[in-house]
C-alpha cells in the first residue's frame, strides 16, 4: 500500500516549452503533496508544499510563476515547468502524505521521480 | 544556515561493523524527525521515525537530542545490503514543510 506514481518518468524538451509532471497517490488520499528537486549527488531540495484545494506554499527562491503547482484532488498533484530552460534540467520527485493505516502520521511516500532534460 | 546538516561521508565500513551518523537541525521548534534511505537512482524510503525517547528497530537505533538539536542513527552488525545514502528529515517552522539533509553515503565492504 501507499504507492505514489509519477508521469512521465523521463522527458526531453526544447528550451522555451512547458512540461507538466503528474504525481498520483494510487491507493490512499494525500492531504499534502510535496515537490522536490534533486541534483546529482545532492539531497532533495523542497520546492513547494501543496494541500488539496488550496494554493501551494513555495520555498524561498522558487518562482511560483515558473513552477506551477495544482493539487486538484486528493490523489493528484501536477507540477508544470513553464518556459523551460537548460538550467531547469533536473530530477523532480514528488511525495505524498496522508492517513495511511499503520504508518507514522508524517511519513512521506515518494514517487519514482521524473528526469527532465531541457535542450 | 541550512535547516538540516549532515556529514556527507562517504563512510566505508567492513561487514559487521557498527557505524553512526549524526544530523543537526536549526529550528528548535521542529517536532518530527525521520531517517530515510535512498538507494542509487531510486526514490527515498522511510527507514524509521525518530521519537523523543529514542527507538530501535532490529540493528537500527535512532535517537533525538533536543538540547543539542541533533538526531543520530546507529547501525550495528552492518550488512552489504545496508550500502545506501541515509537522509535525515526534519519538519520546518510551520510543521508542514520537511527538509532533507544532504545525505550520508555508506558503503559496506565485504
Q: Give me the average pLDDT of each 10-residue run along chain A (119 residues).
A: 90 95 92 89 86 87 93 91 95 88 82 93
Establish if A76 touches chain B: CB-CB under 8 angstroms.
Answer: no
User: What are B80's three cell numbers?
Assistant: 552489504
Per-residue pLDDT of chain B (110 residues; tens, 9 = 90+): 678 999 888 999 999 999 999 999 998 888 889 999 999 878 889 899 888 888 899 999 999 999 999 999 999 999 999 999 999 999 876 667 788 898 999 999 99
pLDDT at res. B32? 86
pLDDT at res. B63? 95
Establish if A93 touches chain B: CB-CB under 8 angstroms.
Answer: yes
CA distance A14 to B43: 26
pLDDT at res. B93? 64
What residues in B contact A43, CB-CB < 8 Å?
A: 87, 100-103
Structural contact between residues A77 and A20, judged by C-beta atoms closer than 8 angstroms = no
pLDDT at res. A52? 81
Backbone phi, psi, residue A62, to 5°: -100, 120
pLDDT at res. A40? 77
Distances (CA, A) of A76 to A71, A91, A113, B33, B46: 6, 19, 15, 26, 21
Structural contact between residues B22 and B35, judged by C-beta atoms closer than 8 angstroms = no
Question: Best of A25, A43, A92, A100 to disrupt the B interface by mutation (most B CBs within 10 Å)?
Answer: A43
pLDDT at res. B94? 66
Establish if B59 touches chain A: CB-CB under 8 angstroms.
Answer: no
Q: B92 vs chain A: nearest CA distance in angstroms?
A: 11
Amino acid at each position: 500500500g501507499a504507492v505514489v506514481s509519477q508521469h512521465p518518468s523521463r522527458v526531453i524538451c526544447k528550451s522555451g516549452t512547458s512540461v507538466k509532471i503528474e504525481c498520483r497517490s494510487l491507493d490512499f488520499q494525500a492531504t499534502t503533496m510535496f515537490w522536490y528537486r534533486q541534483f546529482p549527488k545532492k539531497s532533495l531540495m523542497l520546492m513547494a508544499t501543496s494541500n488539496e484545494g488550496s494554493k501551494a506554499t513555495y520555498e524561498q527562491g522558487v518562482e511560483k510563476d515558473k513552477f506551477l503547482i495544482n493539487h486538484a484532488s486528493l490523489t493528484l498533484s501536477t507540477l508544470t515547468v513553464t518556459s523551460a530552460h537548460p538550467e531547469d534540467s533536473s530530477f523532480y520527485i514528488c511525495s505524498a502524505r496522508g492517513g495511511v493505516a499503520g504508518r507514522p502520521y508524517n511519513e512521506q511516500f515518494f514517487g519514482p521521480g521524473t528526469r527532465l532534460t531541457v535542450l | 544556515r541550512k535547516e538540516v546538516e549532515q556529514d556527507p561521508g562517504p563512510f566505508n565500513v567492513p561487514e559487521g561493523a557498527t557505524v553512526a551518523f549524526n544530523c543537526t537541525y536549526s529550528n528548535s521548534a521542529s517536532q518530527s524527525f525521520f531517517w530515510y534511505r535512498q538507494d542509487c537512482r531510486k526514490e527515498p524510503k522511510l527507514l524509521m521515525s525518530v521519537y523523543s525517547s529514542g527507538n530501535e528497530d532490529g540493528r537500527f537505533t535512532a535517537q533525538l537530542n533536543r538540547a543539542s538539536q541533533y538526531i543520530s542513527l546507529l547501525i550495528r552488525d552492518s550488512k552489504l545490503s545496508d550500502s545506501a545514502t541515509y537522509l535525515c528529515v526534519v519538519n520546518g517552522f510551520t510543521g508542514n514543510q520537511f527538509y532533507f539533509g544532504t545525505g550520508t553515503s555508506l558503503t559496506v565492504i565485504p
